[in-house]
Amino acid sequence: MSKLVLRLRTAPAFRLDLSALTPERLSGMNAEAVARLELAHGRRRTPVGEWFDVRGAGGERLVIEADGGRLDRIGADMTGGEIRIDGNAGAYLGIGMRGGRIEISGNADAYAACGLAGGTLRIGGNAGDFLGAALPGEHKGMRGGVVIVGGHVGDRAGDHMRRGLILAEGDCGSYCGSRMQGGTLALLGRCGIRPGYSMRRGTLLFMGPPPAPGPSFNDAGELPLGFLVLLARGWKDLPSRFAQIARPSTRVRRWLGDLAFGGMGELIHWPGPGNPA
């Protein structure tokens, strides 16, 4: 499998748009051709070679070695292949992605997995605000695919989310699942205030400490939910701590809401060892 490696040589002064660099767009190109491709840098268009040392050949895999956090729109609209980022990424990581795989060892800035429709995005560090959300003014957030965050997640994760799965191994900020319309967001850590604010449908699954639902959520009490076994079994092949989760029971506590928006969403607290109900 051919591999292209981009090593950041010079930290950009402004945001650098890397949306032109996806495995399918670079397929068949040699290092020189890739170095001549132009990237938007502020108001200017600059060649890749101005910022990166390029080696290898374009194909299935793209490796970006970068410490800076100003590399935006990595993997935008990508449909296949694999991008690995050794370091941190800027905003809009994997925006509009429809297939393939992105793996980042460090942190991702705001709007990662924005409008994600397919594929897998794994963030080893923390994710910024609006993970898996819709762009401002749009009504379609994440609508497919899987996002795994090894660290913490900022505010408004899953805003306008419609389908797909977000697994957060750390804590989640405030208003997670806001305006959610479907899909599943699960977290192992704590969450901030008002989870599920304005959600219509969808599932927020709390596998660590219990949430503190807002006043527009009704307590549905404790009950067993067999579908959680299906859900957890679906994680077993994912590169995440969620894959090892074993719960002795499917008994959960459930809240329905947001009652101001139809009340078809659900907050579920599925306690495990060390996290009693």
| 83 and 43 Cβ atoms separated by less than 8 Å | no
Q: How many residues does the chain have?
A: 277
**Interatomic CA distance for residues 225 and 256, integer angstroms:** 14
Shortest separation between residue 201's beta carbon and other proteins, angstroms: 7
Name which of residues 169 to 188 contact other proteins (CB under 8 A).
182, 184
- The answer to the question of residue 140 lying near other proteins (CB under 8 A) is no
**Closer residue to other proteins (CB): 137 or 226:** 226
| 166 and 158 Cβ atoms separated by less than 8 Å | yes
**Closer residue to other proteins (CB): 15 or 254:** 254
| 153 and 134 Cβ atoms separated by less than 8 Å | no
Name which of residues 43 to 72 contact other proteins (CB under 8 A).
none
CA atoms within 13 A on the CB side of 152: 10
Q: What is the dihedral of CA 170, 175, 178, 183, to 10 degrees?
A: 20
Stretch of 24-32, 60-68, 120-128, 228-236 lying at the interface with other proteins (CB under 8 A)? 228-236
**Closer residue to other proteins (CB): 87 or 182:** 182
Options 136, 137, 221, 226; binder of other proteins; rule CB under 8 A:
226
| String of contacts with other proteins for each residue 186-225, x by CB under 8 A | ---------------x-x-------------------xxx
